[in-house]
Structure 1
Amino acid sequence: MLKRLISLESPVVEQRAQSRRSATIEDYASVITPGDVAVSTSGRIAYVRTESNPVEDTNDRSIWLASPRQQLTAGPSDTSPVWHPKSTQLIFVRPDSAGTPQLWEIDAAGGAATQLTTAVQLPLGAGAPVFSPDGARVAFSAPVDRTATGSSRPLVTRRLRYKVDGAGAGVRGSVRSHLFELDLVEGSLRRLTDGDWDASNPVYNHEGTELAFTARIDDDADVTRASSAWTISLADRLGTPSRLGHARGICGPLAWTPDGGAVVAVGWHSPIVHNNELLVLHRDLRVADRSLTADLDRNVMPGFAGYPGGAPYFTADGHVVFCVRNYGSTELHKVDFETGTVVPILAGGQTVVSGFALTAGHAVVALSTATSFGEIAVVDLDTRSVDTVTDVNTTLTSSVAFPVATERWFDISDGTRVQGWILRDPSLTSAGPLVLDVHGGPHNAWTGTLTLTHAYHADLVRLGYTVLTLNPRGSDGYGNSFLDGVHDGWGELDRADLLEPVGTLVAEGIADPKQLALTGYSYGGFMTCALTSVTDRFAVAVAGGLVCDIANTAGPSDEGILLQTVEFDSSSPRIREISPLGRVAEVTTPTLVLHGGNDVRCPVNQAEQWFAGLRLAGVDTELVVYPDASHAFVSTGRPSHRSDYSRRLVAWIERHLSPTPARMAVDPDYWQYRLDTLAEKYGVAGASLGIVTTTRSGFERTVITTGAAATRDALFQRESIDKVLRGQSGDSVLLQRSNHLAMIDGCLEISDAAADSLGISWLLPSRGISAVLITNGGAMDALSGELLAEVIGSIGGVTVTREGGTCVEKHCD
Structure 2
Amino acid sequence: MMNKVSIEDIFKIKSVSSPKAVPNTGKVTYLVTKTDEEKDTYYSYLHNFDGRGNIQLTYKDETVTNVAHSHDGTMTLFTAPDDDKKSQVFILRHAGGEREQLTHEDDGVFGAQFSHDGQSVFYHVSSEKNSADKKDEDDKDDKDKKPEAAVITRMKYKSDGGPGPYGVLTEKYTAVKSIDIQSGETETVLSGDENFTLYDVFEGGFIYATDKSENPDFNFAQKLYLRTGGEDKLIRDDASFMKAEISGDQKHILMTLMTRKFKNATHPHIEVYDIKTEESIDVTTKLDKPVGGLVAQDTQQNAEGNTAEWISNNEYVFLVSEFGSVNLYKGDVEGNIRPLLRGEHNIFGMDADSEAAYLTISTHVSPSELYKFDFKTEELSQLTEINYDYVTDTELVKPEPVEFSSFDDTTVHGWFMKPAGYEAGKNYPMVTNIHGGPHALYANTYFHEMQLLAAKGYAVLFINPRGSHSYSQEFVDAVRGDYGNGDYKDIMSAVDYITDKYDWIDKDNLGVTGGSYGGFMTNWIVGQTNRFKAAVTQRSISNWISFRGVSDIGYYFTEWQILAGLDNLDKLWHHSPLKYAKNVETPLLILHGEEDIRCPIEQAEQLFIELKSHEKETEFIRFPESSHELSRSGKPSLKMQRLSHIVRWFDQYLIQN
TM-score, structure 2 normalization? 0.90
- Please give the residue correspondences for 1:611-690 in structure 2 after superposition, counting only pairs within 5 Å: 611-658=608-655
Q: Given residue 250 of structure 2, which amino acid in structure 1 is its aligned partner?
A: G
1:178-233 CA deviation, whole Å, 9 max, x = no partner?
222222132112222233433335211x32x3332344222224224223423456
1:495-518 CA deviation, whole Å, 9 max, x = no partner?
111001112222231422211101
For residues 626 and 261 of structure 1, what CA distance do their matches in structure 2 show? 52
For residues 119 and 347 of structure 2, what CA distance do their matches in structure 1 show? 31
- Bigger shift: 497-506 or 178-187? 178-187
Q: For residue 102 of structure 1, what is the aligned residue in structure 2?
A: 88
1:523 counterpart = 2:509: no
Q: What is the Cα deviation at residue 309 of structure 1?
A: 4.8
Q: For residue 493 of structure 2, what is the aligned residue in structure 1?
A: 500
2:286 match: secondary structure: helix
For residues 353 and 243 of structure 1, what CA distance do their matches in structure 2 show? 33
Q: Given residue 32 of structure 1, which amino acid in structure 2 is its aligned partner?
A: K
1:421 counterpart = 2:415: yes
Q: What is the Cα deviation at residue 157 of structure 1?
A: 3.2
CA contact (8 A) 1:62 1:79 kept: no
Q: For residue 103 of structure 2, what is the aligned residue in structure 1?
A: 117
1:375 match: secondary structure: strand
For residues 224 and 577 of structure 1, what CA distance do their matches in structure 2 show? 29
Q: For residue 293 of structure 1, what is the aligned residue in structure 2?
A: 284
Instruction: Assess, with a 3 A threshold, how the Cα gap between structure 1 residues 281 and 219 changes in structure 2: closer, same or farther.
Output: farther
For residues 389 and 494 of structure 1, what CA distance do their matches in structure 2 show? 40
Q: For residue 157 of structure 1, what is the aligned residue in structure 2?
A: 152
For residues 429 and 132 of structure 1, what CA distance do their matches in structure 2 show? 66
Q: Given residue 253 of structure 2, which amino acid in structure 1 is its aligned partner?
A: V
Q: What is the Cα deviation at residue 280 of structure 1?
A: 3.4
1:469-493 CA deviation, whole Å, 9 max, x = no partner?
0001000110100010101111212
Q: For residue 91 of structure 1, what is the aligned residue in structure 2?
A: 77
1:312 counterpart = 2:308: yes
For residues 199 and 346 of structure 2, what CA distance do their matches in structure 1 show? 25
1:473 counterpart = 2:466: yes
For residues 647 and 220 of structure 1, what CA distance do their matches in structure 2 show? 46
1:240-292 CA deviation, whole Å, 9 max, x = no partner?
x753224x2324121124553653222234362211110235678x9454311
CA contact (8 A) 1:410 1:418 kept: yes
Instruction: Assess, with a 3 A threshold, how the Cα gap between structure 1 residues 304 and 465 changes in structure 2: closer, same or farther.
Output: closer
Instruction: Assess, with a 3 A threshold, how the Cα gap between structure 1 residues 57 and 475 changes in structure 2: closer, same or farther.
Output: same
Q: What is the Cα deviation at residue 439 of structure 1?
A: 0.5
1:606-664 CA deviation, whole Å, 9 max, x = no partner?
12222222222212222222222121121112111112111110111111225xxxxxx
Aligned length: 626
Q: For residue 444 of structure 1, what is the aligned residue in structure 2?
A: 440
Aligned equivalent of 2:394, options 393, 396, 400:
400
1:367 match: secondary structure: strand
2:550 match: secondary structure: coil
Q: What is the Cα deviation at residue 456 of structure 1?
A: 3.3
1:117 match: secondary structure: coil
Instruction: Assess, with a 3 A threshold, how the Cα gap between structure 1 residues 459 and 351 changes in structure 2: closer, same or farther.
Output: closer
Q: Given residue 105 of structure 1, which amino acid in structure 2 is its aligned partner?
A: I
- Please give the residue correspondences for 1:124-139 in structure 2 after superposition, counting only pairs within 5 Å: 124-139=107-122
CA contact (8 A) 1:595 1:604 kept: yes
Q: What is the Cα deviation at residue 175 of structure 1?
A: 2.4
Instruction: Assess, with a 3 A threshold, how the Cα gap between structure 1 residues 354 and 605 changes in structure 2: closer, same or farther.
Output: same
CA contact (8 A) 1:32 1:49 kept: yes
CA contact (8 A) 1:168 1:598 kept: no
For residues 370 and 459 of structure 1, what CA distance do their matches in structure 2 show? 13
- Please give the residue correspondences for 1:5-404 in structure 2 after superposition, counting only pairs within 5 Å: 19-41=1-23, 42-66=25-49, 67-75=52-60, 76-118=62-104, 122-147=105-130, 148-149=134-135, 150=137, 153-166=148-161, 167-200=164-197, 202-204=199-201, 206-207=202-203, 209-232=204-227, 235=230, 243-246=234-237, 248-258=238-248, 260=250, 263-270=253-260, 272=263, 273-281=265-273, 287=278, 289-301=280-292, 309-316=305-312, 318-338=314-334, 340-348=335-343, 350-404=344-398
For residues 32 and 21 of structure 2, what CA distance do their matches in structure 1 show? 15
1:84-116 CA deviation, whole Å, 9 max, x = no partner?
222432111110111111011123443221211
Gaps of 5+ in 1: 1-18, 659-695, 698-813
For residues 304 and 418 of structure 1, what CA distance do their matches in structure 2 show? 17
CA contact (8 A) 2:407 2:490 kept: no
For residues 128 and 294 of structure 2, what CA distance do their matches in structure 1 show? 27
For residues 175 and 528 of structure 2, what CA distance do their matches in structure 1 show? 47
- Bigger shift: 527-536 or 551-560? 551-560
2:77 match: secondary structure: strand
Q: Given residue 494 of structure 2, which amino acid in structure 1 is its aligned partner?
A: P
Instruction: Assess, with a 3 A threshold, how the Cα gap between structure 1 residues 547 and 281 changes in structure 2: closer, same or farther.
Output: farther
For residues 562 and 258 of structure 1, what CA distance do their matches in structure 2 show? 40
Instruction: Assess, with a 3 A threshold, how the Cα gap between structure 1 residues 308 and 413 changes in structure 2: closer, same or farther.
Output: farther
CA contact (8 A) 2:548 2:555 kept: yes
Instruction: Assess, with a 3 A threshold, how the Cα gap between structure 1 residues 576 and 596 changes in structure 2: closer, same or farther.
Output: same
Q: Given residue 245 of structure 1, which amino acid in structure 2 is its aligned partner?
A: R
Q: What is the Cα deviation at residue 176 of structure 1?
A: 2.7
Instruction: Assess, with a 3 A threshold, how the Cα gap between structure 1 residues 249 and 587 changes in structure 2: closer, same or farther.
Output: farther
Q: Given residue 59 of structure 1, which amino acid in structure 2 is its aligned partner?
A: Y
2:190 match: secondary structure: coil
For residues 146 and 632 of structure 1, what CA distance do their matches in structure 2 show? 28
1:426-472 CA deviation, whole Å, 9 max, x = no partner?
43444421100000110111113213xxx332332123211000001
1:11-63 CA deviation, whole Å, 9 max, x = no partner?
xxxxxxxx423222212321011112111111211111100111101111111
Aligned equivalent of 2:576, options 558, 567, 579:
579
Q: What is the Cα deviation at residue 555 of structure 1?
A: 4.2
Q: For residue 538 of structure 2, what is the aligned residue in structure 1?
A: 544
Q: What is the Cα deviation at residue 601 of structure 1?
A: 1.3
Q: For residue 144 of structure 2, what is the aligned residue in structure 1?
A: none
Q: For residue 9 of structure 1, what is the aligned residue in structure 2?
A: none
- Please give the residue correspondences for 1:481-500 in structure 2 after superposition, counting only pairs within 5 Å: 481-500=474-493
CA contact (8 A) 2:243 2:255 kept: yes
Between the aligned residues of both structures, percent identity stands at 25
1:736-774 CA deviation, whole Å, 9 max, x = no partner?
xxxxxxxxxxxxxxxxxxxxxxxxxxxxxxxxxxxxxxx
CA contact (8 A) 2:533 2:653 kept: yes
2:89 match: secondary structure: strand
1:553-607 CA deviation, whole Å, 9 max, x = no partner?
3442222234234223347653332111222222221111112222111112112
CA contact (8 A) 1:297 1:479 kept: yes
Q: Given residue 438 of structure 2, which amino acid in structure 1 is its aligned partner?
A: P
For residues 199 and 299 of structure 1, what CA distance do their matches in structure 2 show? 26
1:600 counterpart = 2:597: yes
For residues 83 and 294 of structure 2, what CA distance do their matches in structure 1 show? 30
Instruction: Assess, with a 3 A threshold, how the Cα gap between structure 1 residues 143 and 366 changes in structure 2: closer, same or farther.
Output: same
For residues 185 and 221 of structure 1, what CA distance do their matches in structure 2 show? 39
2:348 match: secondary structure: strand
Gaps of 5+ in 2: 139-146, 298-302
2:612 match: secondary structure: helix
